[in-house]
Structure 1
Amino acid sequence: MKIKIILPGLLLVIAFFMLTGCQGRLTTVVTHIPVEQQKDYTRQLPPGELALRKITDPSQIPDYSRACSNLDGLKEAIARSLNYMAKPSSKTFYPYGEITHEQAVRSLQELDKLVSLNLSPEQMNKVLREKFDTYISVGCDDEGTVLFTGYYTPIFDGSPVRTDRFQYPIYRTPEGLLKDSDGMILGQRTSGGQVRQYPNRAEIQKSNILAGNELVWLGDAFEVYIVHVQGSAKIRMPDGQITTIGYAAHNGWEYQSIRKKLIADGKFAEKDINMNVMIDYFKAHPDEIDMYVNENPRFVFFRYEEGEPRGSLNEEVTPFRTIATDKSIYPRAMFVFAAVDLDTPVGFALDQDAGGAIRAAGRCDVYMGVGDRAGELAGKTYREGQLYYLFIKSDSK
């Protein structure tokens, strides 16, 4: 099948506050796109359809040479994907179309070897084009258009116990939250043994049903919400120690952005909204935080983690080498080429994470690291591009 690709037009980017969710997470990015250029990046595929199509016309395969000139951190990211694929549970998600679990693992192994050969960009590009099949995402329009956004891990001050300064809790997963074998939230088990939908964010906040499940306390209610929508955080404890917390579960409700409500209420014009403005606004109007964050019914639970933040595969994520996609239609842990013009180039990456708002073929979230600088980079990321996946050819030796 010949794959038609429409190259994206230039986007006029103005930073705004957009929630994209790592199991719902926050991305400080907004753009003003002329109405005639806007696309439905959240368009759903027909039931049973996957996001990738195999390219059979060699002229449609991209030139990887530029990406081959920067392989920093790639070997480590591949190793994390291989570690995931070595787990028996990974076989549950394959075959992916015609790609078997064995072929997926071999693809990563061959790519790991290739990265270690120190070939010139031209030589590596040649090998990739000859030994690997290339698949392209159908995107939001069946022509390959994917919207790339960014996410990161914030650093906030906090405490393991409540104090006068730290009064806003982040919670661990409560007893009674039921999941199936794939981690999907089933609901809440009642005292009578029945299962019902778990309460939404507003109901949780009002009922205080999570008392006793506090994991860590922060000094600002809106910082808690930022952690919820980012999916991870570094917490600087009073003794100076930095502790990582990561996503553990959520309450089973679909993620909803609060941005539209803020704009509709006249708090911000769309072209003016950005993270710093919103943080400043809620610091000046703390009484309005609950009203707005409760527009998002999803509530996220956390756990302490060793090392760096982890993605949905329970492997550490790597800045600019980890992407998040909709795992119901994209293959887990696989090697990708992001054909998108970002301020910090991505090139090759591994599909190792998911997002509560990344629920379509036309969305891809790039992990950009830890701290304020990473947040600034994420805040500039709102670009159209194409997303390609590489698999070793079945007859390749």
Structure 2
Amino acid sequence: MNPLLSKNFFLLITANCLAFCGWVFRNYLINWYILEKTNSTFMVGLIAAIPTFFVIFISPLGGQLADKFSRKKLFLIARIISFIFFLFAAIFIHANFYPIFFIILCFSGIGVTAGLEVTASRNLILDVVGFKYLTWGNSITEFINAFLSTTGPLVIAIFFTSISNTIIFFSMPAVHLISVAAAFMLFIYLKETKNDSDKGLEKGVDKSIKEGIVYSYKSVNIRILLILAFTILFWGATQPLIPKIARDTLGSGASGYATLLSSEAFGAMIGSIALPLFAKIFRNSKSIVACIIIYSIVLFFFSLSTSIYLSILLLIIGGFFHIIWFTVVLILLQTIPDDDHKGRVVGLFFTVIQAYGLGFILGGLLGESIGIVATITIAAIIPVIVHLVCYGASKDFRTLKS
């Protein structure tokens, strides 16, 4: 039976994608809530970045645990804890009881659990569908994530007409609760091999975080892919600027912000379809560099746009190429390492991409000090330079494909 049609894969993508949907709701609701409360892009970026501060330090541990213990157990435990934190965040916002303070506390806890979970959840895709269907497994996951990113903000915008309508914040724990149910069913039905469930009992195999870092550094291709992944910092730098662009430049308010978020996600949804259909074209280092160049050009023109329709079109194009860039980097990092290092390498990847949280802060700060256009221009140029330098410096990387 095709593993993509199996009950286990259905449960896995349901749990993963509904959890992601909760993050989509969080991004839209909390970012707009903070902007309305503080009128500061810096505060929007700072608070949105809080989970990433913890994921940066916790993801290597999560990768180590994914190499040593049952991934489905880690996945279920983290899903339950995340639901609890999102529930508390919604309660304190609705009660208007020091909401920003408790958002910060809950986001800190969410960051810890995300760091512990993310490697297990991504490598479970490989465990369930196998190497042969890995591209399809990742692409289906990203397609559904993109679909939810497209529809989620629009659906929320229908109900979220004012920050006083705080009952809508309970949509965050609601979708996480369904995610927990799917993760529990996966825990029941997924039969792990003895090697998968008893990894921590293996003798003579060094599964320390340090050894995983050394292994990643010694591999030229893994090292370069992690460097390129770090440039997601500059994607993050643009995110706290989008609600301000929607409100002040385009004059479209909260509904316009939702539309812009959905546009980028719609492009990502199309990209997720294109990737497995044209895997031979995209699953290589040339594609990684080309996608980031096109994305950066689109981003620059987006910063100059004063038309909501042109902005939507540009974000659709940008979302298409950015999701291909992200997914191909991840797929290569899942397939290059040997079995004993997959968890820690993917854990390092999810540590590195938390740089987008630092980008939130940097983008918000620069947006207020040097302006939106200048900030986005910087965010467009630097990733291109980094990719071109890495591509030119390594013959191994230039010939990399999977």
TM > 0.5 fold call: no
User: Shorter chain as normaliser: what TM range?
Assistant: under 0.3
TM-score, structure 2 length as denominator?
Answer: 0.26
Larger Rg: 1
Name the TM-score, length of structure 1 as normaliser: 0.26
